[in-house]
Amino acid sequence: MLLFLGLSLLSPALQSQTNHNVQNGKSNNGWSAYGGDAGGSRYSSLQQINSNNVKKLQVAWTFQTGELGKYEGTNAREKAAFEATPILIDGTLYFSTASCRVFAIDAASGAQKWVFDPKVNLKNDFSEITSRGVSAWPAPGDKISQSASKRIFIATIDGRLIALDAKTGSPVIYFGKDGVVDLREGFGKDLSVTSPPAVIGNLVIVGSSMGDNQRFDYPRGTVRAYDANSGELRWSWDPIPTDSTDKAWHTWNGPKAHKTGAANAWAVISVDADRDLVFIPASSPSPDFYGGERLGQNLYGNCIAALRASTGKMIWYYQVVHHDLWDYDIAAQPVLIEITREGRKIPAVAVGTKMGHIFVLHRETGESLFPVEERSVPASDIAGEEAHPTQPFPVLPAPVGLQSITIADAWGITEEDKAEAEKRIAQYVNKGPFTPPSYEGTLVAPGNVGGIHWGGMCYDPKQELLITNINRIPAVIRMLPREKVTQLEKEHSEIMRAETGRQAGTPYVMKRDYLFKAGNKGLMMQIQPPWGTLLAIDLHNGAKQWEVPLGYMLDPRQYPDAKNWGSINFGGAIVTAGNTLFVAATLDNHLRAFNTKTGELLWEYALPASAQATPMTYEVNGKQYIVIAAGGHGKLGSKQGDFVVAFSVP
């Protein structure tokens, strides 16, 4: 999009001030950003589809991307996941596939308008093969840039930021070099991007994704802001301090500590245009499970950081995990909300975490709006490691999901299955939340897939309900002295089968597994159900309002109780003014609708493939649609496909 010369000379700060909250406003009929709006509320004021008529939903149209054909001749299908949420701009839906192809389709009919293929080489060894979506510039309602031609931005898994003309799908040649900014320049080939960029004023802001646990010195997780018109770098922010005068510098101890990598923001970034703020969800420093080379609290890793959008200057930060040893990234998009206190609306940001901890912070100061306690947690017995002695625990909302595990939690369909689970659990250590990794193996509860995962949360502003789906899956983390790995793998088949993190540059190799086993009946969990739930929290008082099992993993025809057992899930929920929330995410291939007030299941539909994605909704030509990407997830082994399915009430 060409921005007129006079407008391009305006500072980003002036542009953000001129926007005056319009980017944060929620369109009456659209879904203009990945999270519905720039603050990730995933709320729609539409109510043509509501709790009274949702049972009448029918398929309005289906679109197929042909994505599976892209994987031929590669191993990509084993990792590929269709996790995208489309956005609506001027009657057109825009979305990306796992290979980062961008599609524009008519929102009323599903007819293709154009497709852009960045030609990512899927034979390369990517840690993740997915793209959760695209972003539009100017942001809808951005009056300062309304004369500019609209652009669609895609950040790719091979480290490119690409600007496309929204009408034609052609690269905008005067952005970067022929429409492309090389994000890997100066950072190396390990840098990918899996989430859509954030857009505020004349800035496009990107984080990064990196393969975890293979080495100590991954690239640093620098967040960068680029000029949306030219592609020039405007500012960058490094979550690992580089200035010895920064107080955070002294929270990284050891001769190699400041050479640590990652702490990157791979989740979706939120922005508040009215306040000129960007909210960065930072992850664990590398490697995830051993911190002996980076002793100390490790600020600003695992922090929600509020930056001044126009300059990149930090305004405040809040660390949700000190000295992370559990892969407890902030995986969910920060949700910008308002809550009522003593009759006044307070601007807040809700931060959901893999630990099942939810922090509700004042948006302007970072002060917690509910009580949080620093509590003592177990020490590490790994030589060279020093676990942080305390961790922050929110009192309200109370932690959700699995928080500890004992032999009493063992489960199986048969008595033999249960006995096997008991024996397995008895092998490992769990001393409650934040039990550090160990030589013999630690049961980490919740595991690194949540709690609250990248699917994130949504917010109903009328009822002030915060809604999220969660996983209840413990991980088994074992630290092996590097010189003994080969011997231990030969002696123990379970160690041999487990996922390996080489953690080069440290004395240990990490082995990771989960408390389930594969069988002819399906994925057999070894802990008490439910294994996935959907829940709502009343932010008037921080209390849980309801919680219900979400989906199923075993065939209900064979096991009638399976629908009460829940499912591993990836992808989030959305909520509408029609007292209805929609979520897919589970391994049983269904899209579901629930009553927002009660959690009652109202409707479900078997999709042509599994949907590890977040739905969206919009209205065109007087008709409301619900849309979901159904393409499955290679790593989960769910049913794969290439479908985008739209529903409406006849």
- Burial level of 153, CB count in 10 A (0-12/13-18/19+)? buried
Mean pLDDT score, 228-251: 96
> In the predicted model, what is the mean pLDDT of residues 266-270?
98
pLDDT for 146: 63
222: how many CB neighbours lie within 10 A of its CB?
Answer: 21
CB atoms within 10 A of CB 138: 24
The residues near 414 (Cβ < 8 Å, ≥ 6 apart) are: none
pLDDT, averaged across the chain: 93
pLDDT at 523: 78
Strands (E), 422-486: 442-444, 457-460, 465-471, 475-481
What is residue 520's predicted lDDT score, i.e. its pLDDT?
A: 66
Report the distance separating Cα 351 and Cα 422, nearest Å.
35
Residue, of 211 and 337, whose pLDDT is higher: 337
> Which positions ≥6 away from 633 have C-beta within 8 Å?
81, 82, 83, 570, 610, 612, 640
pLDDT for the residue numbered 22: 37
Instruction: Give the helix/strand (H/E) hosting 379.
Output: none
Distance of CA 352 to the CA centre of its chain: 10
Q: Is the confidence at residue 3, as pLDDT, over 70? A: no
For residue 417, how many other CB atoms are within 10 A of its CB? 18
Mean pLDDT, residues 276-289 taken together: 97
Q: Whose CA is closest to 48, among 647, 465, 628, 622?
A: 622
- Is 144's pLDDT higher than 70? no
pLDDT at 28: 56
If you average pLDDT over residues 415-428, what whole number do you get? 95
Residues 421/412, Cβ–Cβ less than 8 Å: yes
In the predicted structure, residue 14 carries a pLDDT above the cut 50: no
Q: Which of 299-303, 497-501, 571-575, 644-648 has the lowest mean pLDDT?
A: 497-501
**What band does 212 get if pLDDT is binned at 50, 70 and 90?**
confident
570 burial via Cβ count (<10 Å: 0-12, 13-18, 19+)? buried
226 sits in which H/E element: strand 223-227
In eight-state DSSP terms, residue 442 is: E
Is a pLDDT exceeding 70 seen at residue 171? yes
Do 509 and 500 form a contact (C-beta atoms < 8 A)?
A: yes
Which tokens in the block code for residue 589?
A: 């291939």
Q: At 10, is the pLDDT very low, low, confident or very high (cuts 50, 70, 90)?
A: very low
* Distance in angstroms (rounded) separating the CA atoms of residues 515 and 554: 16
Other beta carbons within 10 Å of 493: 9
Q: Which amino acid is it at 35? A: G
> Given the DSSP bridges, would you call strands 573-576 and 43-44 parallel, antiparallel or unpaired?
parallel
Average pLDDT over residues 60-79: 96
Measured CA angle at 324 (ends 318, 329), to 5 deg: 65
pLDDT category of residue 117 using cuts at 50, 70 and 90: very high
Write the pLDDT tens digit of every residue in 533-563.
999 999 999 999 999 999 999 999 999 999 9
Amino acid letter for position 476: V
CA distance 253 to 380: 17
User: Which pLDDT score, from 0 to 100, does residue 142 have?
Assistant: 74
Q: pLDDT band for position 213 (50/70/90)?
A: confident
Interatomic CA distance for residues 460 and 44, integer angstroms: 9
Q: Which of the four pLDDT bands, split at 50, 70 and 90, describes residue 518?
A: confident
Per-residue burial over 602-635, b if 16 or more Cβ lie within 10 Å, else e, is bbbbebbbbbbbbbbbbbbeeebbbbbbbbbbbe
Distance between CA atoms of residues 219 and 208, nearest Å: 10
326-351 pLDDT tens trace? 999 999 999 999 999 999 999 999 99
Two structure tokens written together for 18 = 């001129």
Q: How confident is the model at residue 106 (pLDDT cuts 50, 70, 90)?
A: very high
Cα distance between residue 377 and residue 60, in whole Å: 52
Query: Which residues make beta-bridge pairs with 617?
Result: 626
Which residue stretches of 427-563 are H helix? Answer: 485-491, 493-497
Specify whether the CB–CB gap between 473 and 524 falls below 8 A: no
In order of 253, 291, 296, 303, the CA distances from 299 in angstroms are 11, 13, 9, 7
Report the alpha-carbon angle 193-66-587, nearest 5: 70
Of 83, 178, 78, residue with least CA distance to 127: 78
pLDDT at residue 138, rounded to an integer: 93
Q: Which amino acid is at 209?
A: S
- Relative to beta strand 499-501, strand 465-471 is unpaired
Residue 15 in this model has a pLDDT that exceeds 70: no
Tokens of residue 610, six digits: 């599994």
Active site residues: 327
Q: Which helix (H) or strand (E) holds 336?
A: strand 335-341
Q: Report pLDDT digits (tens) over 360-408.
A: 999 999 999 999 999 999 999 999 999 999 999 999 999 999 999 999 9
Least confident of 44-53, 89-98, 485-494: 485-494
Residue 362 to residue 364: CA distance in whole angstroms = 6
**Dihedral of CA 287/290/291/297: which sign?**
positive
Give the containing element (helix H, strand E) for 520.
none
pLDDT 10s digits, 578-637: 999 999 999 999 999 999 999 999 999 999 999 999 999 999 999 999 999 999 999 999
Q: What is the pLDDT of residue 52?
A: 98
Write down the pLDDT at residue 18: 34
Q: Is the pLDDT of residue 23 over 70?
A: no
Which residues does 198 contact at the CB level (< 8 Å), separation at least 6?
Answer: 38, 135, 204, 205, 206, 268, 269, 270, 271, 278
Can you tell me the distance from the alpha carbon of 453 to that of 570, in angstroms, rounded to the nearest whole number?
Answer: 7
